[in-house]
Amino acid sequence: MRVVVVGGVAGGMSAAARLRRLDESAEIVVLEKGPDVSFANCGLPYHVGGDIPDRSSLLLHTPRSLRDSLDLDVRVRHEMLAIDRATQSVAVRDLVSGTTYDLAYDALVLATGAEPIVPSLPGLDRPQVRTLRNVPDADVLRSMLEAGAQKAVVIGAGFIGLETVEAFRHRGLDVTLVELAPQVLPALDADMASLIEDELRAHDVDVRTGIAFSAVEDSRTQHAVDVVLADGGRIPADVVLLGVGVRPSTTLARDAGLELSPQGAVVVTTSQQTSDQHIWAVGDATQVVDAVTGAPGVVPLAGPANRQGRTAADAILGRASASKPVLGTAIVKVFDLTAAVTGPTSRRLTAVGVEHRTIHLHPGNHAGYYPGAQAIHLAVTFAPDGRLLGAQAVGRDGVDKRIDVLAVALRAGMDVDDLAELELAYAPPFGSAKDPVNMAGFMAQNILDGTLVTWTAQDLDTVLDGSVLLLDVRSATEYADGTLSGALNVPHTELRDRLDEVVAAAHGRPVRVFCASGFRSYLAHRVLVGHQLDSATLDGGLLTLAAARRDLALMPGALSRPVMTS
């Protein structure tokens, strides 16, 4: 049996390697259009920035090493030109010699990946405008930096864009980040992504959100080009990195008549089989199913691609195997912060009509009395019946651990009661007896059983209209540094002694309580409820409110500055 695999990176090489481990007799040919096979494309920004100085570290295997270890026939710089489904063959061009030939297959695996989106705008064919998808792309960027580039514009604030921004800053460039969406990192909800924007600005990145670019033109300065914005603004640059997204690379699949989704991805079964019984497809070029909403989509991540390659290999050899729906778990480092997500965001759930609640909390990454504790900003989304739907986290340490625990819980179909009962490793340097994941479970339980009633950033305009009593239960010092307009300050430790004062100020109105992070206001809320007052506490406290409502600084008397104490 001859299996031809088209694409020699994550999904393709996973399929080829699995096939060999299961079948010593199969002839396995891997066609790769580029010069490298099995390279670490997720490490490219870190090579550009110098964190991975040695280029060879990105090359996990070579055609020779794969021949020696797995007896694979790996042909780099070989491009598939067409698929002939009737004869079960592909037309191939050797890009070195220029010759073409036909290659028959018993099974064909398409791992053609995704390609950068390059808008049809003037000037994007200039040599200063680059994308970052393979090792040669990284080579070009490094050579531009070494040649003296001083200013960079990164267009697109997704994962690759943010990683490249950091790489350019590490190399000493002035960097402007341009994003069409109203926030950076659209994979997160806006209130979480705003923490990343703050980190970018703290590292002297000029962040421009909510603005499109229209062209790249000759510069009016000493720099190579100007990026022209939709509002007429011009940003000089020596290098422009396009990171506006990727699309499935499926032209050949379309030409062969394979079924494609509306997004242009190859439609596959759970065994990764296409609409042709002799052709399988894996990785970024394929349609996947959202594990929470059940909606079809595209998730260009290395983890799912590798697992799909394994599934396809099993299916080709007649083994029962099925790919699972995808959670889209992802993580990114942005200077000293880490941001991570698993499952759909609240914005996505709202868009597809899934009823849900979201809670925000800001626990420490480990015990507060052990030196070096840092806050983790955690958002957990759950259904009215308590089923876990998704989570996001941003922080300086411990984010990866918590998002991985939550990803496992989500895959396992756990609910918030399960989160509360998870038995997680604890010692002061590593966590707390009540881990942040447990705390999220406790808080969600309180929401569902009515112990905790919250108000959110979306309610701010209503609570500022005078129809409620705003009660700030932070210390007098914190209150003096800035509070919400019209708020009465009664520190939570004084609330029981000053309850008559609160009742008089409320004058029959509901009381809306807040503090910095939401914990002290929860304690105050329970006191107020215990005395039969209509009370609710601000979800996530001023930390979340300030992140969700960046316009607060423009509202006279609303909040003089965010108060970051917990």
Report the alpha-carbon distance of residue 170 to residue 164 in Å, rounded.
10
Residue 555 has pLDDT above 70, yes or no: no
Asked if CATH classification 3.40.250.10 holds for the domain at 454-554, the reply, yes or no, is yes
**Predicted pLDDT of residue 481:** 85
**Total-model pTM:** 0.93
State pLDDT tens for residues 127-158: 999 999 999 999 999 999 999 999 999 999 99
Residue 507 has pLDDT above 90, yes or no: yes
Residue 564 has pLDDT above 90, yes or no: no
Domain residue limits, the chain? 2-114+247-316, 129-244, 336-449, 454-554
State pLDDT tens for residues 389-408: 999 999 999 999 999 999 99
Beta strands, E only, 196-342? 206-209, 213-218, 225-229, 234-237, 239-242, 246-248, 279-281, 288-289, 296-297, 330-334, 337-342
Catalytic residue among 2, 27, 35, 42: 42
**Percentage of residues in the chain having pLDDT higher than 90:** 93
State pLDDT tens for residues 56-70: 999 889 999 999 999
Would strands 234-237 and 225-229 be described as parallel, antiparallel, or unpaired?
antiparallel
Identify the CATH assignment for 336-449 out of 3.90.226.10, 3.50.50.60, 2.30.30.240, 3.30.1360.10.
3.50.50.60
Asked if CATH classification 3.30.750.24 holds for the domain at 2-114+247-316, the reply, yes or no, is no
- Cβ count near 147 (within 10 Å): 9
If DSSP codes are grouped into helix, strand and coil, which group holds residue 330?
A: strand
Does 2-114+247-316 match 129-244 in CATH topology? Answer: yes
Q: What secondary structure letter does DSSP report for 57?
A: G
Among 34-38, 121-125, 555-559, name the one with the lowest average pLDDT. Answer: 555-559
pLDDT band with cut points at 50, 70 and 90 for residue 14 = very high
Q: What secondary structure letter does DSSP report for 509?
A: -
- Tell me, which fold does domain 129-244 have in CATH? FAD/NAD(P)-binding domain (3.50.50)
State pLDDT tens for residues 227-275: 999 999 999 999 999 999 999 999 999 999 999 999 999 999 999 999 9
42 is catalytic: yes
Give CA separation, 542 vs 49, 277, 518, in Å. Answer: 35, 56, 8
